[in-house]
Amino acid sequence: MQTRKLGNSNLEVSALGLGCMGMSWSYSPIPDRNEMISLLRAAVECGITFFDTAEVYGPYTNEELLGEALVPFRGKVVIATKFGWAPAFEREARWSRLDSRPAHIRQVVEGSLKRLRMDAVDLYYQHRVDPEVPIEDVAGAVKDLIQQGKVKHFGLSEAAVNTIRRAHAVQPVSALQSEYSLWYREPEKEVLPALEELGIGFVPFSPLGKGFLTGKIDEKTTFDSSDFRNIVPRFDAENRKANQALVDLLRDIAKRKNATPGQIALAWLLAQKPWIIPIPGTTKLHRLEENIGAVALELTSDDLGDIERAAAQITVQGARYPEQLELMSNR
């Protein structure tokens, strides 16, 4: 497995990480816990050293899953988790509002450390920017945790450039995690140039478009009633039908490279910058192995040019999030 560094930090991880949310939350049905422990350990054996979770996933159960599965590999893997949500009704596991007050950050890190069975969080992201708390206060709170040895690196998620700069001035930001793929290219406008200037790594989530770019989903696909994608406008049947043009493009390139559409999508991301580390999620070993195969897949300048020209003719239809969630992005 190739490795990459997150920007100017000394945090070196596998070129491809593993997003673990779907092992406990959001996509349905939720898989068997023991099977996910086996999958996580298989990922390590395959060379994956970068794992992504959050306290809200479950809530809490995803961190517990990673803590149990990865404790034998402590010191050999990097685990990123996130703070910033306030539980409204913990018994019903509902989360309704943000809370990045320094006192709350100091409180919730203790729970994450316990669930993850770690002495220090390798990478601690603010899950979404809290408009009620100055980002300088958030960065200062994480800086204190770093000085106390409870956190090693600070990260942000779905933050706007000005917010990134303000946070970075207080405590260096090692990584930004935001959505980025051929399905959503908004970060190219302002975020990527700023990250390159500041020496911050980029961790794209949903690099396969929540599964759409694998070519396994079309307008006839049905999801479990509790699956998050049921409320995502981009997954309306009409939008899925319109967006097949993007999958067709990936299929064309995949045939040329003896690969899969998903591998082309991941290889395209890896080719954009050497400090980009995608974190595709999966609950299946064969998909994990397929995703890992993208790391060794080389796209030539001609390949990348063909993708760019064809993609420029395609307009992806549908919002990537329901309105209330989209409003929490790019703050």
- Positions annotated as catalytic residues are 57
The total number of residues written for the chain in this structure = 331
Residue 211's contacts (CB-CB under 8 Å, 6 or more residues apart) are 217, 229
- Partnered with residue 176 across adjacent β-strands are 156, 202
Contacts of 167-171 with CB under 8 Å at 24 or more apart are 167/135, 167/136, 167/138, 167/139, 168/139, 168/198, 168/200, 169/136, 169/139, 170/135, 170/136, 170/139, 170/140, 170/143, 171/139, 171/140, 171/142, 171/143, 171/146
Residue 39's contacts (CB-CB under 8 Å, 6 or more residues apart) are 23, 282, 283, 284, 285, 288
